[in-house]
């Protein structure tokens, strides 16, 4: 084995005895992924249960992505098995291709095609900050057509319901403007094999979740609702349903009332608005199916090769980059989600089960009224009493309290590890959210020397 066959994960972690002595098997056999693939040690992404790196097939020299999932951190093994099975089942140009699966004592490794173009969400933000302020109708229609084609394939040919369609779950194959878009995450997906296709598990993400999902009685049409929300965002840069907290967003979703405010929507065609309305019907039975949506007037007219000049002339370009309040709120929410995801990824990769239990104990100690959230008042009282303690994970510990859903979420990181090294970028995210970063307790970035 050459030196490029790096150990996945920290050596100390691999040697720890607190890990499950007899890990549950996800596949039927154990194998060493490093025999076939050279693995670049640099991480290119984080998840709740592991990290993503690049790897190269030693024979073909083709580069792929490898997602290494630490099995001891997976609470529901059946859910992971289901995701792997669904990915193996799918073969569509707009769905990430699962190339191979390897499993060793501690990790499950998913080798997929490598997508280097970034998330759809990031491109939405780039467009929001551009002179035009949003995707053109042609570009938006082409993206939505690809998404609809993939979901039509899932619904009609495979009987799969995705249940968590959102811009963060789409990657572009490359940085090119016309790069192929791919659905990448099937963690909440399942087969539509329930009685009459009715599901009742409350899953999804604020902004994109359908109202019937919140009521715990829904069908595959929940995916169509999410596509309607994504289409709306592509054309203006912010979602149709909004609020300052998750609960406020959910209340807005339940009403299913939205509008096309001026001047943001003045240059958007009536066909686009009609298309969105046909997907965001409160009654799921009245929504278009994915196949029907593919044949809608807006998709057939605008998703062609040429830009429709007569429609293009109606669009206005902004004279200055002045973001709408709803766009700013949307960006702040996403920034916090990225910070939260990075922290969870680090914890999943580095924290022991004892660390997690200790962190839960800290959270419960601060959460005086036991409502599952930490308010600024509770945090202030805790600090005044000198009881703000945290789990020791390294030479320094950073506790970043992020205001999500009107509560505070404790994020831990160690100076010795990746998340700490990401802090300059995360400081930038926090500065966007809190102008007085590191000046008051409310924004709460605290470095504790040990």
**355-406 pLDDT, tens per residue?**
666 667 767 777 777 766 666 566 666 655 544 433 333 222 333 333 332 2
Same domain, 297 and 180: yes
Rounded Cα distance, 32 and 104, in Å:
6
Of 98, 113, 128, the residue that ends a domain is 113
Give the domain CATH number at 181. 1.10.510.10
Domain check: are 202 and 298 in the same one?
Answer: yes
pLDDT of residue 67: 92
The pLDDT of residue 128 is: 75
Specify whether 98 is located in the same domain as 132. no
Q: What is the pLDDT of residue 345?
A: 57
Q: Per the domain annotation, does 4 fall within a domain?
A: no
Decide if 298 contacts 269 (C-beta within 8 A): yes
Judge whether 54 lies within some domain.
yes
Residue with tokens 């022991």: 352
* Whether pTM exceeds 0.85: no
The reply to whether 437 and 336 lie within a common domain is: yes
For position 372, what pLDDT does the model report?
65
Active site residue 164: yes
Q: Are residues 126 and 104 both part of a single domain?
A: no
The pLDDT score that the predictor gives to residue 367 is 73
> Could you tell me if 344 and 290 lie in one domain?
no
- Is residue 2 a part of any domain in this protein? no
Range of the domain at 39: 11-113
Residue 1 covered by a domain? no
Q: Which pLDDT value is given to residue 34? A: 94
pLDDT of residue 270: 96
What does the pLDDT read at residue 376? Answer: 58
For the chain (450 residues), the mean pLDDT of every run of 10, in chain order, is 39 43 76 94 78 94 93 81 92 95 92 94 81 83 96 95 92 93 90 67 83 90 96 92 83 92 91 97 95 95 62 43 53 58 58 66 73 64 52 32 33 37 40 36 30
In the set 139, 164, 223, 335, the catalytic residue is 164
Q: What's the total number of domains in the chain?
A: 3
């Amino acid at each position: 084995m050459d030196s490029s066959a790096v150990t996945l994960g920290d050596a100390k972690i691999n040697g720890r005895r607190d890990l499950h002595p007899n890990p549950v098997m996800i596949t039927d056999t154990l194998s060493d992924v490093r025999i076939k693939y050279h693995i670049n040690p640099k991480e290119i992404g984080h998840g709740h249960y592991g990290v993503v790196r690049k790897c190269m097939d030693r024979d073909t020299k083709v580069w792929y992505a490898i997602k290494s999932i630490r099995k001891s951190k997976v609470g529901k093994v059946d859910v992971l098995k289901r995701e792997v099975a669904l990915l193996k089942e799918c073969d569509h140009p707009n769905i990430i291709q699962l190339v191979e699966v390897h499993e060793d004592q501690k990790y499950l490794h998913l080798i997929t095609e490598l997508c280097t173009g970034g998330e759809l969400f990031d491109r939405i933000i780039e467009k929001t900050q551009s002179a035009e302020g949003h995707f053109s109708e042609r570009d938006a229609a082409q993206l939505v057509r690809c998404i609809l084609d993939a979901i039509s394939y899932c619904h009609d040919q495979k009987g799969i319901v995705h249940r968590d369609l959102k811009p963060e779950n789409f990657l572009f194959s490359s940085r090119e403007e016309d790069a192929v878009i791919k659905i990448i995450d099937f963690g909440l997906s399942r087969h539509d094999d329930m009685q009459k296709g009715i599901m009742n598990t409350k899953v999804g993400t604020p902004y994109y979740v359908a109202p019937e999902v919140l009521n715990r009685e829904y069908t595959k049409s929940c995916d169509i609702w999410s596509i309607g929300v994504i289409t709306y965002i592509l054309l203006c840069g912010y979602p149709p349903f909004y609020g300052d907290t998750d609960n406020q967003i959910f209340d807005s979703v339940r009403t299913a009332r939205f509008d096309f405010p001026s001047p943001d929507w003045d240059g958007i065609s009536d066909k686009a608005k009609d298309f969105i309305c046909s997907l965001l019907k409160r009654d799921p039975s009245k929504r278009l199916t994915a196949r029907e949506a593919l044949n809608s007037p807006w998709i057939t007219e605008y998703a062609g090769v040429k830009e429709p000049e007569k429609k293009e002339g109606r669009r206005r370009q902004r004279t200055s980059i002045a973001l709408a309040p709803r766009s700013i709120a949307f960006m702040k929410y996403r920034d916090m989600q990225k910070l939260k995801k990075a922290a969870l990824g680090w914890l999943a990769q580095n924290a022991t089960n004892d660390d997690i239990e200790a962190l839960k104990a800290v959270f419960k100690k601060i959460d005086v009224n036991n409502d599952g959230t930490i308010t600024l008042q509770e945090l202030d009282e805790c600090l005044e009493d000198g009881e703000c303690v945290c789990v020791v994970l390294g030479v320094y510990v950073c506790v970043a309290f992020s205001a999500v859903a009107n509560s505070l979420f404790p994020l831990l990181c160690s100076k010795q590890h990746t998340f700490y090294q990401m802090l300059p970028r995360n400081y930038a995210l926090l500065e966007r959210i809190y102008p007085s970063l590191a000046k008051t307790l409310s924004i709460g970035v605290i470095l504790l020397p040990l």
